[in-house]
Structure 1
């Protein structure tokens, strides 16, 4: 690709990454029943409601999972992959492959988000944090359910919680095995 195509690809990835982040965080906030009055949640709801409200009439929430937000995030990933393939000059790319790449990219996005949030939550547990910061309770509300199964396997050792290490290891393994397989499948279809 040329320098201009690389710059355009970067802009596409940034714009679609921001849009996907809004819907993924909305999905996570609803899944853990985060405080609706949290300013961050208010921002997420206001930013995504114009798109999600009409779609939620057709696609309802299922077991605390906002399927409409998940669908929009996946559609955005698919559109991003179509645009990136177009910019790269891959006009004859398979539509099925692009759909699989959308799943792979969305799963990878979820895993990266959880990796960063678990790492941040672990760091925040070692420092004195301001509990009035709206990010702290939201981060805890999202991360704690993900760490709970790992705490059953790996209890506190000498006052240290090593469950985040195990959770991060599982996330990295999922990226290496599942996401890599999906990406390979998407590129070969």
Structure 2
């Protein structure tokens, strides 16, 4: 392991955000190391909103976000190429075939791996569904597409909202294996948002909201 292996992937300083006059986050600061970490909280606590802020999909009221020194406020496009996030409820890609959506990611993420994408699609059992438009897929199959994208994107930071939601048992086992491998990664960080920590997974950090 090199000297830079445990350098934080993400630095958050003084993050502030709220709806109207109600602050959801105020002066939130933390560093995210390589490996797998968790944002934990109940319904309505702000887990999903925090992921949106970290992804640059929602503008904060104040604060500095930086991935390996690339600041969202100064280099927005470059920052967003360093992070993968997708709203699991989105309908933005409904007209695309699942494979068409996955193939399109190489234009946005410079380290996207086609070989990894194929292995993940097989692991999640997506083969029969890749030619179908996204709107035809079940909630679980859509989740598998988003997870395939997340792990194939090759970004320094990967954000996954409720990773196990709507998955069948074989896919849950496969995802646990992927996260187990990710937990030991020397330079990439995964941040999960869920009500509780996944069983038998070594977390580097837990952020309670």
When normalised by structure 2's length, the TM-score is 0.28
Of structures 1 and 2, the one with the larger relative CO (CA 8 A, separation 6+) is: 2
Quick check: which has more Rg, 1 or 2?
1
Q: Which has the higher helix share?
A: 1
